[in-house]
Amino acid sequence: MNEKRQINHSQRVGKIANLVIFLGILGIILSILALTVSHGLAQRGYGFSYIVLGLFMMGVGYGIRYRCAYSLYAAVVLFTVLSGSFLFRFLVCHTAYLSLRLALCTWVSFRLFQSLPSMRALILTNTFPERNNRFMRYFLRRNVNDNPQ
């Protein structure tokens, strides 16, 4: 009863692509808020450079979604470098915010490393990652049920 549901290669790569795209969008939103409204976010490192980084994350995420192995490798390198940067800054500053960002980047790096064999399997079988996500399925199912014709 308490068995973990196995996910296939296309679902694993699709989920990691959605995660990287989401983190890119989140970084862009936080950077825009830092540039316009919040001085506290600007002090935490968000700004114009993080907008560029967020756009790069989104581009890499869409590259993963369209089965480009180089995009997955770039995402692995990006999040590993970000993890190292946050580790160094955490060792210097010891703030809870940096520990949260370090934990998030380390977790994403781990998930990206796990998806490398899945991406190879998708390339060998000439299949694409799954583009659906559970939130869109929920909203689409809800709209169909709300508007019977």
Concatenating the DSSP letter of every residue in 20-52 gives HHHHHHHHHHHHHHHHHT-HHHHHTT-SHHHHH
Residue holding tokens 């990652």?
129
pLDDT at 145: 60
At 133 the pLDDT is: 58
Residue 144 token pair:
């169909």
Average pLDDT over residues 13-34: 91
Whole-prediction pTM value? 0.81
Structural tokens at position 31:
């950077």
Please give the Cα distance from 67 to 2 (Å, whole number).
33
Q: Which residue's entry shows tokens 């703030």?
A: 95
> In this model, does residue 93 exceed pLDDT 70?
yes
Evaluate if residue 121 carries a pLDDT over 50: yes
Eight-class DSSP state of 32: H
pLDDT digits (tens, 9 = 90+) for 42-75: 777 788 888 999 999 999 999 999 988 899 999 9
Categorize the per-residue pLDDT at 11 as very low, low, confident or very high, splitting at 50, 70 and 90: confident
Task: Look at the chain and count its residues.
Answer: 149
Strands of the chain, DSSP E: none
Average pLDDT over residues 98-114: 93
32 vs 41: CA distance, rounded Å: 10
Instruction: Tell whether the model's pLDDT for residue 105 goes beyond 60.
Output: yes
CB 51 within 8 A of CB 28: yes
